[in-house]
Structure 1
């Protein structure tokens, strides 16, 4: 048996990779919150969500981004409407020049990638690109993944809050536990990763069906973005904030005003009678110093000290939707021997 802790986008992607390899009926997701729920402790539904250059420039982030983009691009082409993912034209600006390594990495695989000429950049912007991104209707995509996993692949789901990571070992038949606990990894007994911290974001949900492009501006201490939410009756996500070590679920009027001012400056088309703000929401990105952790660990459980395997897969911050599939592939690859021991015919 293979156990997944938590049902955010990270955990659901691990379950998907396992299911695609033929292990769906031997996989169980255990989570306090499931797609369709809302809680400040359940981050994934609050996301924008899209593929963007917001990630770091280290080799892990670059590798996960590429794997994630290719997966989402394929999904948009094959099952986009059902999966609530869509190709969308995108513009991204930086106030400070990003690393050449990151630029070259993106240029190698992003569809329709083009650097914007310096004379065409807005005031205060040092660098810009155009490319085809993938936008994602986050809450609906999570429901799609859950339905696909349970109905097509036979993945089991248990709604339960576990007191410690070792509680994932439901029986002696449990071979591997994938720890995809996000922000909870900081305090969860058996993990207690002091490098983890929340990064609060506030967004506005608006109806602006005339907006059909993704646009972002990466500042030194801010992020501004307009992300159309595909297959949502014209909704868009306006943001945002990147507040490290802030964990309040409250939303604030002055932050909403800041978002409206910045996004309208970035995309003047928002200043229209067709734009209607529907609400303000906050979410806590599961961040980690040094980047996400994808690693296996051999641990002991029970009085007999049985040796078992935990695969940690958390700390993606604001990149869970774009990097999640790549992280899942690598997480599963760390336990190839244990999974192969299940001796099940692959569906691939």
Structure 2
């Protein structure tokens, strides 16, 4: 089977690239190559550990704001049309900041978030300077990526290959390959041919709890911490509590003192967690694929031999925003090779 389009990495970033390409008719031309696939668990496979939701945790730069808007609109539509099977849901959200976010950030959010409202100072927690409410998207992360995995294979004809590549150049091992998308997340730091020294992990610890009385998303953005409560769709009342943002920390261990801090912070932020009571089911740790200067979405070329260069599109470094920024990043990555894609045959959507 020929491989005109290769995507390296099967986290949410790689799956989003595959989805946008498949929706344009390129499904049978796509091969996703990854060491880990949806359904796996590994500290080196970040996506299953995510909260996950759409939140204002992202930066205020132009790319982040643009990616957020695109991702929000796409996922709101998905929640309306396929929410149950995709395991995503529209959810009321309340977010608070210890320090006032930028005017640009506030204006951007208010322009597209459904039911957006700025909260009165008396309605936000003590110590916070700003708060908003809006309708967000909450995501059952492991089940959502499994939904994309099934959709891409069964309805779009995307091929998945479980393989750990020795280098990014190995993505071009098939002579038919015209484009390789590098969606390797934390792997970008050490993968030969990429070796991006700006990439680093940001460790988080979360608690999976049973608290079916919680039906809203609540977040507090601190100067050097994040506290969040995220109900998990299609999970029979599970709620994710967090968390931590530990730059450069790469352990997958979990620590009781951090679990205790999470419980203290989240129950203070949302006392309803204790009424009628919640049950802590497990603690997990994950490594967000971060990057100095923000995510890298860039078309480059790579020399394959004396006569041939390959077209390589880097798409990684989203940090903790992969589920909300991934579709916007994917759109930029795909648009960067629009000229090459025109030479690859397409088929009409099977949907």
Superposition TM-score, scaled by structure 1 size = 0.98
Equivalent of residue 325 in structure 1, options 298, 323, 327: 327
Q: CA deviation at 1:122?
A: 1.7
Give me the whole-angstrom Cα distance separating, in 2, the residues matched to 1:305 and 1:66.
42
Q: CA deviation at 1:119?
A: 2.5
Deviations 1:287-338 (A, max 9, x none): 0011000000011113x34111000000000000000011001100000011
Q: Within 5 Å, give how 1:295-334 maps onto structure 2.
A: 295-302=298-305, 304-334=306-336
Partner residue, 1:137? 140
Whether 1:37 and 2:40 are equivalent positions in the alignment is yes
Give me the whole-angstrom Cα distance separating, in 1, the residues matched to 2:348 and 2:338.
13
Say which SS state the counterpart of residue 294 (structure 2) adopts: coil
Q: Within 5 Å, give how 1:266-285 maps onto structure 2.
A: 266-285=269-288
- Asked if 2 retains the 8 angstrom alpha-carbon contact of 1:300 and 1:306, the reply is yes
Q: CA deviation at 1:171?
A: 1.4
Superposition TM-score, scaled by structure 2 size = 0.98
Give me the whole-angstrom Cα distance separating, in 2, the residues matched to 1:305 and 1:153.
34
More deviation in 216-225 or 305-314? 305-314
Partner residue, 1:219? 222
Partner residue, 1:339? 341
Partner residue, 2:191? 188
- Asked if 2 retains the 8 angstrom alpha-carbon contact of 1:176 and 1:311, the reply is yes
Partner residue, 1:202? 205
Q: CA deviation at 1:13?
A: 0.3
Give me the whole-angstrom Cα distance separating, in 1, the residues matched to 2:81 and 2:157.
21
Whether 1:94 and 2:97 are equivalent positions in the alignment is yes
Partner residue, 1:11? 14
> Structure 2: where are the runs of 5+ without partners?
none
- Asked if 2 retains the 8 angstrom alpha-carbon contact of 1:209 and 1:274, the reply is no
Q: CA deviation at 1:340?
A: 0.8
Say which SS state the counterpart of residue 25 (structure 2) adopts: coil
Could you say what the CA RMSD is over the residues aligned between the two structures, in angstroms? 1.0
Deviations 1:208-256 (A, max 9, x none): 0000000000000100000000010100000000000000000000000
Whether 1:166 and 2:169 are equivalent positions in the alignment is yes
Equivalent of residue 74 in structure 1, options 77, 80, 104: 77
More deviation in 216-225 or 334-343? 334-343
Q: Within 5 Å, give how 1:227-242 maps onto structure 2.
A: 227-242=230-245
Say which SS state the counterpart of residue 105 (structure 1) adopts: helix
> Structure 1: where are the runs of 5+ without partners?
none
Q: CA deviation at 1:273?
A: 4.2
Equivalent of residue 52 in structure 2, options 33, 49, 54: 49
- Asked if 2 retains the 8 angstrom alpha-carbon contact of 1:293 and 1:315, the reply is yes
- Asked if 1 retains the 8 angstrom alpha-carbon contact of 2:99 and 2:130, the reply is yes
Q: CA deviation at 1:160?
A: 0.2
Q: CA deviation at 1:345?
A: 4.2
- Asked if 2 retains the 8 angstrom alpha-carbon contact of 1:49 and 1:138, the reply is yes
Give me the whole-angstrom Cα distance separating, in 2, the residues matched to 1:195 and 1:76.
35
- Asked if 1 retains the 8 angstrom alpha-carbon contact of 2:138 and 2:231, the reply is yes
Give me the whole-angstrom Cα distance separating, in 2, the residues matched to 1:343 and 1:7.
23
Q: CA deviation at 1:118?
A: 1.8
Give me the whole-angstrom Cα distance separating, in 2, the residues matched to 1:7 and 1:68.
18
Partner residue, 2:109? 106
Give me the whole-angstrom Cα distance separating, in 2, the residues matched to 1:208 and 1:184.
35
Give me the whole-angstrom Cα distance separating, in 1, the residues matched to 2:288 and 2:149.
21
- Asked if 2 retains the 8 angstrom alpha-carbon contact of 1:296 and 1:310, the reply is yes
